[in-house]
Amino acid sequence: MNKLRLRYSKTGKAKYISHLDLSATMQRALIRAGIALKYSEGFNPHPYMSVALPLSVGMESVCELMDVGLIEALDLSELPGQITHCLPEGISIIDAYYSPSKFAMLAWVEISGTMHYSGGVPQDAAKRLAERFSEDVIEISKKTKRGFSTINISEFISDISFDGSDEIVVRAKLSAQNPTLNPGNLLDALSGEFSELAPDFSSFRRIEAFDTNMNVFR
Q: Residue range 85-102: average pLDDT?
A: 95
Residue 57 has a pLDDT of 93
Which residues share a beta bridge with 3? Answer: 69
Query: Region 57-75: what's the mean pLDDT?
Result: 93
Mean pLDDT over each residue of the chain, to the nearest integer: 94
Q: Indicate the residue among 100, 127, 143 that finishes a domain.
A: 100
Residue 218 lies in a domain: no
Average pLDDT of the segment spanning 91-114: 96
Asked if residue 89 and residue 133 are part of one domain, the reply reads: no
**Terminal alpha carbon distance of the chain:** 19
Residues in contact with 192: Cβ distance below 8 Å, sequence separation at least 6, in sequence order: none
Instruction: Tell me: pLDDT of 117 over 80.
Output: yes
Same domain, 109 and 198: yes
Reported confidence tier of residue 1, pLDDT bands at 50, 70, 90: low
pLDDT tens per residue, range 125-162: 999 999 999 999 999 988 777 778 899 999 999 999 99
Query: 148-204 pLDDT, tens per residue?
Result: 889 999 999 999 999 998 999 999 999 999 999 999 999 999 999 999 999 999 999
Domain count, the chain: 2
Q: Is 216 a domain residue?
A: no
Domain that includes residue 43, residue range = 2-100
143 and 60 in a single domain? The answer is no
Residue type at 129?
L
**Which domain CATH number covers 60?**
3.30.70.580
pLDDT value, residue 73: 84
Predicted structure pTM score: 0.90
Q: Are residues 96 and 109 in the same domain?
A: no
Given 70, 100, 130, the domain boundary residue is 100
Band of the pLDDT at 74, cuts 50, 70, 90? confident
Asked whether residue 217 is domain-assigned, the answer is: no
